[in-house]
Structure 1
Amino acid sequence: MDNAHVLRNRVKTHLLEQIEKGELEVGKTINLAALSRKIGISVTPIREALSQLEQARIINAIPNRGFVVAKLTKTEAKNLYNTIAQLEIMALESSSFSEDDVEFLTLQQLKLKQASSHATRLDARFGFHDLLVAKCANTILLQILDDLKARILFYEQGFGQDVSFYEKVDNQNDAIIEAIKEDNIPTATLILKMNWMMVSEYIGAQMNI
């Protein structure tokens, strides 16, 4: 991984953490110079990271103001989850899994079950989905998924903290793994769709818009 990519990821991680903590509020302008001083990264990779976050619709570029945190909408969340579900189904349908692949999924699911905080649960859940589509050879599809997931990560950092939510996720992930073990991809994709729709409904209810 090149240095510029590492720096951009550091910037994106920092900004997402600030949004999660409420330190960057919706509509608030991001001060590039202050951000550069705070995290010790030059303005150029910061601009590049902000442009990527804009593409993911986490922030907006406003003329004469700069970059601001985008407003969340319930409709956008629903559309994003539906799109991601369809793309992951396409990726899963074109994948084949070895015993080692199934073992990696199982270990990742164990990390999710053992996670002790919202942040680590969220990281483990997204890691599970990354592994689920990792065997797909369509790199364009995977890049689109990455961009869209950056946006829903924004939603879930603020709203997905209910323990019962993760219990349902665990049950569905276990069922997906079992279906893959049995080489029953149609069942795995059906459960995968149910998983994303469940998450979508939960996040929509939490937004209360």
Structure 2
Amino acid sequence: MHNNQILRNRVKSHLLVQIQKGDLVVGKTINLAALSRKIGVSVTPIREALSQLEQARIINAVPNRGFVVTRLSKKEAKNLYETIAQLEIMALENSDFSKEDVSALQVQQLKLQQAYTPVSRLKERFAFHNILVRKCNNAVLMQILETLWARLLFYEQGFGNDASFYENVDNQNEAIIRAIEEDNLPTAALILKMNWMVVLEYVEKHIEA
């Protein structure tokens, strides 16, 4: 069971990277046999991984075609970002942060600032949010967040080269860390919501373009 999960996660990570790099574009059918040969994983865990990505609405199962990368929707982006903002705020408000937790956030923020490729920047940004809410002991909430994060990774592909996008993210992340360090979770939650709304505004403009 554990081995199957590892294989599924390997497939999902590979596909997300391909989407982020633009190698797997909207409307393109995913070739299961070719994917199996490329990453050395059998078709069964690949199908399981694709089914999970379909549940996250990253891809669609189209009759007579197979799994296809779905088209971006401005309305869906708005719903997703507003939902994930509220869920992260709930997780944040139900967390207790130690000095070690604050240090972990600071280290992760430094990793984000030092990341130079689009894929690595995106990965480090979502890793920051993972650390931010990981102290929440609501397993259901965390499972929903993980699914939504996967979908948001799809929306944010191609933003890594935009310096202004990450400048805003960096400033807000640092403000969140300061608020947590001062034991001011209401302020941290407010900045966290602003963070996601700034990203949403950027994504909406990107979709329109």
Question: Do they fold alike, i.e. is TM over 0.5?
Answer: yes
Give the letter aligned to residue 71 of structure 2.
Answer: K
Deviations 1:69-115 (A, max 9, x none): 11111111111111000000000011110111111111111111111
Aligned length: 209
Give the letter aligned to residue 107 of structure 2.
Answer: L
Q: Which runs of 5+ in 2 are unaligned?
A: none
Partner of 2:131: 131
Partner of 1:41: 41
Give the letter aligned to residue 108 of structure 2.
Answer: Q
Q: Report the alpha carbon displacement of residue 21 of structure 1 after superposing the two structures with TM.
A: 2.9
Distance in 2 (CA, whole Å) between partners of 1:23 and 1:164 is 25
> Do structure 1's residue 85 and structure 2's residue 124 form an aligned pair?
no
Q: Which runs of 5+ in 1 are unaligned?
A: none
Any idea what SS the aligned residue of 1:68 has? Answer: strand
Q: Report the alpha carbon displacement of residue 35 of structure 1 after superposing the two structures with TM.
A: 1.2
Partner of 1:16: 16
Distance in 2 (CA, whole Å) between partners of 1:76 and 1:121 is 23
Any idea what SS the aligned residue of 2:156 has? Answer: helix
Higher mean displacement: 128-137 or 108-117: 108-117
RMSD: 1.4
Distance in 1 (CA, whole Å) between partners of 2:22 and 2:110 is 30
- The residue correspondences of 1:93-112 to structure 2 (distance < 5 A) are 93-112=93-112
Whether the aligned pair in 1 keeps the contact of 2:57 and 2:70 (CA below 8 Å) is yes
Give the letter aligned to residue 180 of structure 1.
Answer: I
Distance in 1 (CA, whole Å) between partners of 2:190 and 2:149 is 20
Distance in 2 (CA, whole Å) between partners of 1:60 and 1:98 is 42
Partner of 1:153: 153
Higher mean displacement: 28-37 or 141-150: 28-37
Q: Report the alpha carbon displacement of residue 9 of structure 1 after superposing the two structures with TM.
A: 1.4
Deviations 1:146-182 (A, max 9, x none): 0011001011123453111111111101110111011
Distance in 1 (CA, whole Å) between partners of 2:79 and 2:103 is 32
Distance in 1 (CA, whole Å) between partners of 2:159 and 2:125 is 14
Distance in 2 (CA, whole Å) between partners of 1:119 and 1:69 is 18
Partner of 1:168: 168
Whether the aligned pair in 1 keeps the contact of 2:20 and 2:119 (CA below 8 Å) is no
- Calculate percent identity across the aligned residue pairs: 71
The runs of at least 4 aligned residues of structure 1 exceeding 4 Å deviation read none
Distance in 1 (CA, whole Å) between partners of 2:20 and 2:176 is 29
Whether the aligned pair in 2 keeps the contact of 1:160 and 1:203 (CA below 8 Å) is no
Higher mean displacement: 31-40 or 153-162: 153-162
Give the letter aligned to residue 38 of structure 2.
Answer: K
Distance in 2 (CA, whole Å) between partners of 1:22 and 1:135 is 34
Distance in 2 (CA, whole Å) between partners of 1:201 and 1:189 is 19
TM-score, normalised via structure 1 length? 0.95
- The residue correspondences of 1:55-74 to structure 2 (distance < 5 A) are 55-74=55-74
> Do structure 1's residue 187 and structure 2's residue 187 form an aligned pair?
yes
> Do structure 1's residue 201 and structure 2's residue 204 form an aligned pair?
no
